[in-house]
Structure 1
């Protein structure tokens, strides 16, 4: 077991320690969630959770928010910014926080690096301890930022969700090697708050295993991308309880076209139940997607501690 896998398997005690510290959205403000790479995918899921719990929100990549904020939110609207960065040093995210503060917006930093540059440009700092061995690829830190963002949205997230995520990872563990055997095309499907996590799953697959991967809302997949499905495909379907019936029909269609399907919360070649408190399914599923990337990398003799062309912190200038 390498350090990447240990970080994935040993993240759950860190979830239990994560503390939001009372941070919460202010009434009457749009919550703009910014980040880069993994963090902007996590931001997408957090924004959905904020909207679902009565706080208007959207996710925006860091440099987009710095350079053209009014393409995303009208100038007349009151805004608070939530900036996500594991290291707190990502150039685009720090710049977005600085730009937000410069026009009087409150900035809440969610990070795994207290005392970082991002923290110096934040009005509220929420810092979580991540796994000591986490390398370039974000695993536990991504889960922690999602967890804290869900709580910021007002969601209840405690021991039942943590235990559900641990149980799902254990249940998926034995099934993953058989599912990936002979597969080189990986598709991640999820609606609502699952969509950002689907994008993160696809990114993990690219970073860790240099594999072809893509992410879509489930019913959008029939509108063109399904043309790529064949016996090389593995589809990870994260079922939303609201749309279980139509997503199940899609899964059966994909199976008929030669794909294998990992059904998280619904039918598939392998079907696994997703537990946890209401709405926490995206977080519960995330460690499984991380472990999947590690297993595919291992099957290709790739070292996830040294992914090609990547560094732990992206800085520019």
Structure 2
């Protein structure tokens, strides 16, 4: 029996709670990986690399690593590493390069990992959803077992891989509170997914926008880029992403009535970010705020999406922001008569 347009994407977004739980259980079996790689203090810096969505989640991984371990970490597009090595990284430092790839077949990640065989003080590892992939064969990988997807766009794979790496970082940090925070995320994710489904569906059915801008800072900087890409991939519509406060320095000129601004609100910079949101509202934007908790300070928004977890860190809360973002892209695509399972010009991984 044929599968209807969008069914793969919908099912995969809806299954991310199970994918997170599976990743959590798998990590318990790969504790040696943590000790050998990101938990190894011999590395002066950990470098996460990926392409597209994988690069955006690498940004969140790096931000989490810096905050939770107090050690140096960065994230770069894979191509920067093999095309501009000296401009990107210090060849004299002892580095760990972490490849991030859902399929484990992304040509740019594989070429990047293969490109520094001549650098004796660099090591590599990875994270993927496919244990038999080329990347998994060339380097030791964490594997998100239920992150595998049939749809082109990344949804539960991104959520589960981000969560799994954060869980590994929590172990590497050696601080029980971070692990406890992630356990809270696990316990609440299924409910957040169901609520996001209902909220995004109602929102998309009752609104139309000429353009959408996603804003985020800190651990949510990478998420805002991912949110932008999700909507662009599924709907082929005009959308951009910026650092929240950076948006005020020129780009805000694009805001006018008919524009939608989606703010991924942190608790760390809540007051400052809400000042930007109020300013955009004043320019005529329709404002969505995705936040740990609504309050009197968010009452001016057109829609407030609560994901809970106000008592945990911004980093741990990251994956709870993803369901609404993903359903928003899905329902917008369906409203436009597009098939989010098979977006125009896209494939699951890019070949060079």
- Place the TM-score, normalised by the shorter chain, in its bin: over 0.9
Structure 1: where are the runs of 5+ without partners?
none
For 1:8 and 1:168, the matched residues in 2 are separated by 12
Q: Structure 2 length as normaliser, TM-score?
A: 0.84
For 2:117 and 2:186, the matched residues in 1 are separated by 34
Match of 2:246 among 220, 226, 236: 220
Structure 1 residue matching 2:150: 3-state secondary structure? coil
CA contact (8 A) 1:179 1:234 kept: no
Query: How many residues are matched?
Result: 315
For 2:117 and 2:143, the matched residues in 1 are separated by 19
For 1:162 and 1:134, the matched residues in 2 are separated by 24
Matches within 5 A, 1:161-240: 161-180=185-204, 181-240=207-266
Matches within 5 A, 1:9-24: 9-18=14-23, 19-20=26-27, 21-22=30-31, 23-24=33-34
Q: CA deviation at 1:30?
A: 0.6
Q: CA deviation at 1:12?
A: 0.6
Instruction: Name whichever of 264-273 and 180-189 sits farther off.
Output: 264-273
Q: Pick closer, same or farther for the CA change 1:152–1:71 going to 2, 3 Å.
A: farther
Q: Deviations over 1:258-278 (max 9, x none)?
A: 212211115221123332442
CA contact (8 A) 1:183 1:231 kept: no
For 2:85 and 2:167, the matched residues in 1 are separated by 25
Structure 2: where are the runs of 5+ without partners?
1-5, 171-177
Q: Report the equivalent of 2:307.
A: 274
CA contact (8 A) 2:104 2:129 kept: yes
CA contact (8 A) 2:61 2:162 kept: yes
CA contact (8 A) 1:171 1:272 kept: no
For 1:206 and 1:215, the matched residues in 2 are separated by 11
Q: CA deviation at 1:238?
A: 0.9
Match of 1:33 among 39, 44, 48: 48
Q: Deviations over 1:166-198 (max 9, x none)?
A: 333333333334544121311111110100011
Q: Pick closer, same or farther for the CA change 1:34–1:68 going to 2, 3 Å.
A: same
Matches within 5 A, 1:1-12: 2-12=7-17
For 2:104 and 2:263, the matched residues in 1 are separated by 32
Q: Pick closer, same or farther for the CA change 1:81–1:236 going to 2, 3 Å.
A: same
Q: Pick closer, same or farther for the CA change 1:101–1:158 going to 2, 3 Å.
A: farther
Q: Structure 1 length as normaliser, TM-score?
A: 0.93
Structure 1 residue matching 2:19: 3-state secondary structure? helix
Q: Report the equivalent of 1:48.
A: 63
Match of 1:302 among 306, 324, 338: 338
Matches within 5 A, 1:118-133: 118-122=135-139, 124-130=140-146
Instruction: Name whichever of 124-133 and 135-144 sits farther off.
Output: 124-133
CA contact (8 A) 1:4 1:294 kept: yes
Structure 2 residue matching 1:7: 3-state secondary structure? helix
Q: CA deviation at 1:228?
A: 1.1
Structure 2 residue matching 1:153: 3-state secondary structure? helix
CA contact (8 A) 2:255 2:285 kept: yes
Q: Pick closer, same or farther for the CA change 1:275–1:137 going to 2, 3 Å.
A: same
CA contact (8 A) 1:55 1:153 kept: no
CA contact (8 A) 1:107 1:121 kept: no
For 1:133 and 1:111, the matched residues in 2 are separated by 12
Q: Pick closer, same or farther for the CA change 1:217–1:44 going to 2, 3 Å.
A: same
Q: Pick closer, same or farther for the CA change 1:131–1:111 going to 2, 3 Å.
A: closer
